[in-house]
A and B are shown apart, each in its own frame.
Chain A
Amino acid sequence: MAGENQPPDEWETHPGRTTEESAAERDLDVDVSKSILELQPVFEAIAHPRRRYLVYTLAEETKWSLEDLATKLAAWETDTEEENIATLTREEMYTSLYHSHVPKLVDLDVIEFDATTETITPGPHAIQVLTALEGAGGSLDNRQEEHARSEFDREDTR
């Protein structure tokens, strides 16, 4: 039984939105299946650790050259300073990104890739994937999150 101590329902505190709500309720079936469908790109995007790293970098900077991204991800994955990444290691990462993970994320609308300038920018689904990564937190690769967080902290203190 709903007593006075119950928190007020979100919708009741915003009476102006009740029409939207009932419209949403009428379309409930559609909305549910839509939201489930929208999770698919999220799961596929984060299924590979390298793609999780890539999406993390988009939280830091919204525009990356593939070359810079390859260097950064190689540094993260091998826990090495960026300036110490060997050319071969960077070329391996670049190849893996260019021929596999970048087109995959483009397919999933998580990133956009300009093939002429080889620049990566977030796509329509980037926010969803980032949110999922942040929510999943410790259950993902801990070291990976640590790397990403230490970068955010550095940004904050600038």
Chain B
Amino acid sequence: MTSSNDHTDDGTKLAQDGTEPDDTDMTFVAQAHYERESHRDLTTEIIFAIADAADVAPVDIKDPPLYEAVDIAAIEDGFFGPKVAGKTRDSEGSVTFRYNQYHVEVGSDGWITVSEPAEYEDLPDPE
């Protein structure tokens, strides 16, 4: 059922429609903390968190390689990079990206949060 409230008088869609996919209810599934001195690199920490969310072994998370989904090197440089000429270049904030059905948020504080749209909760596991 469509509501006329979704549209302005001249027929253009309201701005809120444009953000639709992100507005669906997200359920928190897993969390991990990345330490820059850790022997686990950011890529590994993220995949381990996704594996935790999916309840499978990390080595079974294959498709796609995280490299294909997001530029982890850029996030690592921006948030956790080495000092340049004695000055930190650490940014503050967070980056969110999609990995299959999961939304992964990496914060500059090192927290990695994995959530999935609520609609996925009740779906049976794919055969």
Q: Which residues of A contact B (CB under 8 A)?
A: 91-92, 94-96, 98-100, 102-104
Given contacts A98-B62, A100-B65, A100-B72, 18 further A-B pairs with CB under 8 A are: A91-B59, A92-B39, A92-B44, A92-B48, A94-B59, A95-B58, A95-B59, A95-B61, A96-B43, A96-B44, A98-B59, A99-B61, A99-B66, A99-B67, A100-B66, A103-B68, A104-B67, A104-B73
B57 close to chain A: CB less than 8 A: yes
Question: How far, in Å, is B69 (CB) from chain A's closest CB?
Answer: 9
A96 touches B41 (CB 8 A): yes
Bound-state CA distance A128–B45 (Å) is 32
Q: Which residues of B contact A (CB under 8 A)?
A: 39-41, 43-44, 47-48, 57-59, 61-62, 65-68, 72-73
Of the listed residues B41, B62, B72, the one surrounded by the most CB atoms of chain A closer than 10 A to its CB is B41
- The majority secondary structure among interface residues of chain B is helix
Given contacts A100-B41, A100-B72, contact A95 B47 (CB under 8 A): yes
Taking CB atoms, residues of chain B closer than 8 Å to A104 are 67, 73
* 13 A–B contacts from the bound complex (CB under 8 Å): A91-B57, A91-B58, A92-B48, A92-B58, A95-B44, A96-B41, A96-B44, A99-B44, A99-B61, A99-B66, A99-B67, A100-B72, A103-B68
Taking CB atoms, residues of chain A closer than 8 Å to B39 are 92
Bound-state CA distance A95–B45 (Å) is 9
Question: How far, in Å, is B87 (CB) from chain A's closest CB?
Answer: 21
Question: How far, in Å, is B64 (CB) from chain A's closest CB?
Answer: 9
Of the listed residues B48, B59, B66, the one surrounded by the most CB atoms of chain A closer than 10 A to its CB is B59
Taking CB atoms, residues of chain A closer than 8 Å to B40 are 92, 96
Taking CB atoms, residues of chain A closer than 8 Å to B59 are 91, 94-95, 98
Bound-state CA distance A96–B45 (Å) is 9
Q: Which A residue's beta carbon lies closest to that of B57?
A: A91
Taking CB atoms, residues of chain B closer than 8 Å to A96 are 40-41, 43-44
Bound-state CA distance A91–B72 (Å) is 19
A95 touches B43 (CB 8 A): yes
Bound-state CA distance A102–B68 (Å) is 11
Bound-state CA distance A1–B65 (Å) is 60
A99 touches B65 (CB 8 A): yes
